[in-house]
């Protein structure tokens, strides 16, 4: 069977199928076009660059809270899009299945757990490396909880709306959903984080603590009540919590290392703040490409179109190159839009450096992350686990870390 026949064009021979390639290119480009909105997130955070140079906990924690975004939103969106494609949930808010509502509650619980873990872990690691003092513990914990939990409550409805709308319009939610909601989540996280940092450094730490406690006590009481009434009997809830919590903890290490890298690179960012402005866009876009490729992989595994073998990656040949072409093209768009926004908002960016940085990061990063997504999905499925609880959280955290390393390394080369 060649790649032009059977299972809507999926076969066992490595051959070019222009229909599948261009379909992947166009849908991925549509999804990644929303990532350009991340320039607003980057501009919000780039305004904190002088503060970051004075208070290293601010720059050290920022990549960590972005990692929670990839974990919680990734688990929720990955499960939701697969469930839509296999018929386990309906594209509707009302009258949906038990699995759908349990998935929402499990994702909210995951946000609390992850925010607490990453805040504490980031503090301990930065304390060991001498980046912060003991007094910074309250800043790490309160800012992490405030940012991650508030952003999760706002973003979950947006995740549902995007997945439902794309499914109803005949688009593939595996390709569309996460890249779109990922950038919305980045913007929400950046706004919430900037607000928490401003309040803390403005001497209003008590307000952040009160808000964090309010977000914990009431929703957690509701989650516990629903657990004993419904969720302890639902397999989806148990599997998500059992598999996603350890994955979230592992992913948090990537965010912490990312923060350490940025903290040591902050002097360069102060001189070229456009780097920090385009930073979340590139990392989100790389993660978006990986999530699209990984979600297509998990759906094909669930439908039996793909064998759970690493060697079967040739079946994904057309999707791989369609998405890679899309990512490289969007690198140019991101740099041009970033240059315009930076210029209009008072920065003095270097256009050629921004273009080279964006193209190289998108091209190299997308290749690596798509391969990572495929390997994680196939390995998890072969072990009898739910790959949707592993693929997006792991690939987005790896994308954040690898993307940060690419941005830092390539910036030293392309910037004069």
pLDDT in tens, 116-140: 888 888 888 888 877 778 888 888 8
Please state, in angstroms and as integers, the Cα–Cα distance from residue 157 to each residue in 38, 153, 225, 240, 344, following that order.
19, 8, 21, 19, 32
Residue 351: CB atoms within 10 A of its CB come to 15
Max mean pLDDT range (40-54, 290-304, 353-367): 353-367
pLDDT at 215 over 80: no
Please state, in angstroms and as integers, the Cα–Cα distance from residue 55 to each residue in 48, 50, 139, 196, following that order.
10, 9, 11, 14
End-to-end CA distance of the chain: 52
pLDDT at 148 over 60: yes
Alpha helices (runs of H) in 129-234, residue ranges in sequence order: 137-168, 173-201, 205-229
Q: What percentage of the chain carries pLDDT values higher than 70? A: 86
Higher model confidence: residue 332 or residue 40? 332
Residue 199: CB atoms within 10 A of its CB come to 19
pLDDT of residue 328: 93
pLDDT of residue 362: 95
Cβ atoms 16, 318 nearer than 8 A:
yes
Task: Enumerate residues 6+ apart whose C-beta is below 8 A from 214.
Answer: none
pLDDT at 393 over 60: yes
Model confidence at 269, in pLDDT bands (50, 70, 90)? Answer: low
Mean pLDDT calculated for residue range 383-397: 80
Higher model confidence: residue 113 or residue 17? 113
Mean pLDDT, the chain, integer? 80
pLDDT of residue 114: 84
Cβ atoms 276, 285 nearer than 8 A:
no
- Whether pTM > 0.85 for this model: the answer is no
Higher model confidence: residue 169 or residue 262? 169
pLDDT digits (tens, 9 = 90+) for 329-376: 999 999 999 899 888 887 788 899 999 999 999 999 999 999 999 898
Q: How far apart are CA 152 and CA 19, in angstroms?
A: 37
Q: Where are the domains of the chain?
A: 18-414
Ramachandran region, residue 8 (left: φ > 0; alpha: ψ -120 to 50; beta: rest): left
pLDDT at 100 over 80: yes
pLDDT of residue 356: 94
Q: How far apart are CA 410 and CA 361, in angstroms?
A: 8
Mean pLDDT calculated for residue range 200-214: 70
Cβ atoms 349, 343 nearer than 8 A:
yes
Mean pLDDT calculated for residue range 145-168: 86
pLDDT digits (tens, 9 = 90+) for 71-82: 787 788 888 888
pLDDT of residue 285: 87
Model confidence at 11, in pLDDT bands (50, 70, 90)? Answer: very low
Q: How far apart are CA 61 and CA 159, in angstroms?
A: 24
Cβ atoms 324, 367 nearer than 8 A:
yes
Model confidence at 212, in pLDDT bands (50, 70, 90)? Answer: low
Task: Enumerate residues 6+ apart whose C-beta is below 8 A from 280.
Answer: 38, 41, 42, 45, 66, 186, 190
Mean pLDDT calculated for residue range 137-152: 83
Tokens of 350: 């270097």
């Amino acid at each position: 069977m060649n790649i032009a026949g059977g299972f809507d064009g999926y076969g066992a021979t490595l051959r070019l199928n222009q229909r599948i390639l261009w379909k992947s290119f166009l849908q991925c480009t549509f999804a990644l076009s929303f990532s350009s909105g991340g320039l607003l997130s980057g501009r919000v955070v780039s305004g904190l660059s002088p503060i970051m140079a004075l208070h290293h906990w601010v720059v050290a924690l920022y990549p960590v809270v972005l990692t929670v975004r990839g974990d919680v939103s990734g688990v929720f969106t990955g499960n939701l899009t697969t469930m839509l494609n296999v018929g386990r949930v309906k594209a509707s808010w009302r009258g949906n299945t038990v699995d759908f509502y349990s998935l929402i509650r499990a994702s909210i619980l995951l946000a609390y757990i992850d925010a607490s873990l990453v805040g504490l872990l980031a503090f301990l690691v930065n304390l060991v490396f001498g980046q912060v003092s003991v007094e910074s513990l309250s800043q790490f914990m309160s800012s992490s909880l405030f940012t991650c939990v508030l952003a999760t409550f706002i973003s979950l409805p947006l995740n549902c709306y995007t997945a439902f709308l794309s499914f109803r319009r005949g688009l593939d939610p595996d390709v569309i959903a996460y890249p779109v909601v990922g950038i919305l989540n980045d913007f929400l996280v950046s706004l919430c984080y900037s607000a928490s940092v401003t309040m803390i450094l403005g001497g209003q730490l008590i307000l952040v603590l009160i808000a964090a406690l309010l977000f914990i006590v009431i929703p957690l009481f509701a989650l516990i009540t629903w657990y004993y009434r419904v969720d302890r009997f639902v397999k989806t809830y148990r599997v998500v919590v059992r598999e996603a919590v350890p994955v979230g903890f592992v992913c948090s290490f990537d965010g912490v290392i990312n923060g350490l890298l940025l903290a040591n690179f902050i002097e360069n960012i102060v001189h070229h703040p456009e780097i920090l402005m385009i930073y979340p866009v590139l990392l989100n876009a790389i993660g978006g490409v990986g999530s699209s490729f990984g979600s297509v992989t998990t759906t094909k595994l669930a439908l039996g179109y793909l064998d759970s073998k690493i060697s079967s990656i040739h079946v994904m040949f057309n999707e791989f190159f369609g998405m890679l072409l899309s990512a490289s093209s969007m690198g140019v768009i991101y740099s041009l839009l970033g240059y315009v926004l930076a210029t209009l908002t008072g920065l003095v960016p270097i256009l050629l450096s921004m273009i080279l940085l964006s193209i190289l990061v998108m091209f190299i990063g997308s290749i690596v992350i798509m391969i990572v997504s495929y390997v994680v999905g196939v390995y998890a499925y072969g072990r009898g686990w739910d790959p949707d609880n592993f693929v997006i959280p792991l690939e987005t955290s790896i994308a954040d870390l690898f993307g940060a390393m690419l941005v830092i390394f390539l910036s030293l080369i392309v910037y004069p």
